[in-house]
Structure 1
Amino acid sequence: MVGLLVIMGPDESGQRQQTYPVLGHVTARWNTTHPDLIRRAIENMRRDSVMVESYDQGEHSPLYVVVDQGVSGVAHLVRLNELLGDDLPHGAIIGIPREHQILAVPIRKARDLATIEPVLRLVQSVGSKASDRLSLDTYWFHQGRLHPLRAEMKNGQLEQIFPPDEFHRLIEQLPRD
């Protein structure tokens, strides 16, 4: 699958939204390419109403809350760098508790990894009450890919995470202060 085709139009209630997967082999029939389809999708997402709020976390990078009011939802992850105004060379700690909400803490220094637990708690608090729940876990978003951290809590405390090997290599490269 390369993308989603979203069709919106009226129905009895005044609104209708249908989503269809776009398979890779179809792009040639449409006289386009995968990168062109992605570029078009991002351009379409720029038309969505997206709110980005920043919350200071003292010695850690800020917590960003990205809320999409359009149809794209968490697909805005593909343009997170643009929304946060940051290149994110080390990625970000991400939570996606709801269909249209992204929580993000850019990883700039080693101390930003300490935000995994508070982000996880926030994700679980928000997601557990949401009718449009997406995930109760945290992720490492790096170079356009979302890696689950598979965080485990015990007695309300973060006990351990199971990140990919690439995450461990990142930790060794991060500036300490």
Structure 2
Amino acid sequence: MASSQNVDLMGNVRALAEDALPILMPGARVAPDTDEVIIAVPGGRARVSLVPLLRLCLDQPRQMWPDLLADWVAGIRRQLPARVTPDELGPADVGQLRLRLTPAAATAEANSYLAMPFGEHFTAAVVINRSDRLEMLTIAQAGQLGREPVELIRLAVRQTVQHELAALDIRDHAMPGGGSVRLLAADGNPFVTTALMSLKRFLPDAAEYGALVAAPRYSAVLLHRVDAPVNDSAVALQRLAMSMFTAADDRCSDEIFWWHDGEFHPVRIVAGEAGTVQVRVPEALAAVVERLDRDH
């Protein structure tokens, strides 16, 4: 299909979404400057690309589009944690508790829910895994369960490992420029990012120098064991992660990190002149970078 046809089709899909979202997902809106839907969630806003919906509509008759949109929105609602009142939540079943790793939430927002920082860049939040949606467990609701918060967190961790992380699809793929990336994934599973809390067990070998990590989707995590200077591999991983992030309907983070000694350090890829790029690593990893350069 020609590019101009795609542009026209996206315009029609945007118009359909703009008309239907007030009914299907009150409060959500189509962004004026990008082909994305903006949704208010605990901790800020989620931005969901319309491209997957466009792909669904490509080969389907126009009269089918409203049903495709409704199914697409239902899928998004299942992925996103809900901001609801205790009355709307209803009683929580401790068997439904899970732990979900998300980008770091604002302190005031995190204080309203049973959540804890996981390093500087992530928040580990207890959620209720209902059949049709996720709900963040409020502090007030946690108090109604008759258990200490630390016990609820441990229970959520255990149930997430048992029910959500035990059957991940784990595959290694070659990366452009050499090396490989390990993909942890499970379609429709919004808890795959929680695997980062026990990252070492998912690495292919001992990781003396740590690993490059990306979590572009809640249902997919990328790992690259560092065994050589990281410039080329960081650029390749960032491009792969960004392509997954852009196309995802369950976006998590567009950042990449260097995990070392239990800490996640952000790695920046900065465009330079004449198409070049620079890889910027935090000063905290200077000794690791020096050792890598010396040994390789």
Q: TM-score, normalization: structure 1?
A: 0.73
Aligned-pair CA distance for 1:107: 0.8
Aligned partner of residue 150 in structure 1, secondary structure? strand
Mapped to 2, the partners of 1:84 and 1:95 lie a distance apart of: 13
| 2:168 equivalent in structure 1 | 50
Mapped to 2, the partners of 1:60 and 1:37 lie a distance apart of: 40
| 1:144 equivalent in structure 2 | 262
| 2:125 equivalent in structure 1 | 4
> Which one scores higher on RCO, CA 8 angstroms, separation ≥ 6?
1
Letter in 1 for 2:163: R
Give the fraction of aligned pairs with identical amino acids, expressed as a percent. 17
1:122 pairs with 2:240? yes
Q: Is the deviation greater in 152-161 or in 134-143?
A: 152-161
How many residue pairs match? The answer is 166
Mapped to 2, the partners of 1:58 and 1:172 lie a distance apart of: 24
Aligned partner of residue 108 in structure 1, secondary structure? coil
| 1:107 equivalent in structure 2 | 226
Mapped to 2, the partners of 1:76 and 1:66 lie a distance apart of: 9
Deviation string 1:63-115 (CA, Å, 9 cap, x unpaired) is 101114434131211122112343423211122222221111101233x5421
Q: Which has the higher helix share?
A: 2
Mapped to 2, the partners of 1:170 and 1:18 lie a distance apart of: 40
Aligned-pair CA distance for 1:45: 2.1
Letter in 1 for 2:137: Y
| 1:20 equivalent in structure 2 | 137
Q: Which has the higher strand share?
A: 1
8 Å CA contact 1:123–1:136 kept in 2: the answer is yes
Structure 1 residue runs without a partner (length 5+) = none
Label 1:82 to 1:9 Cα distance change in 2 as closer, same or farther (>3 A).
same
8 Å CA contact 1:4–1:21 kept in 2: the answer is no
Aligned partner of residue 78 in structure 1, secondary structure? helix
8 Å CA contact 1:53–1:66 kept in 2: the answer is yes
Aligned-pair CA distance for 1:126: 1.9
Q: TM-score, normalization: structure 2?
A: 0.47
Label 1:32 to 1:82 Cα distance change in 2 as closer, same or farther (>3 A).
same
| 1:83 equivalent in structure 2 | 202
Aligned partner of residue 64 in structure 1, secondary structure? strand
Q: Is the deviation greater in 59-68 or in 100-109?
A: 59-68
Letter in 2 for 1:4: A
Moved over 3 A (4+): 29-34, 36-40, 56-61, 68-71, 154-158
Label 1:7 to 1:40 Cα distance change in 2 as closer, same or farther (>3 A).
closer
1:41 pairs with 2:157? yes
The structure that has the greater radius of gyration is 2
Label 1:155 to 1:39 Cα distance change in 2 as closer, same or farther (>3 A).
farther
Letter in 1 for 2:226: I
8 Å CA contact 1:45–1:72 kept in 2: the answer is no
Aligned-pair CA distance for 1:160: 1.8
Structure 2 residue runs without a partner (length 5+) = 1-114, 117-123
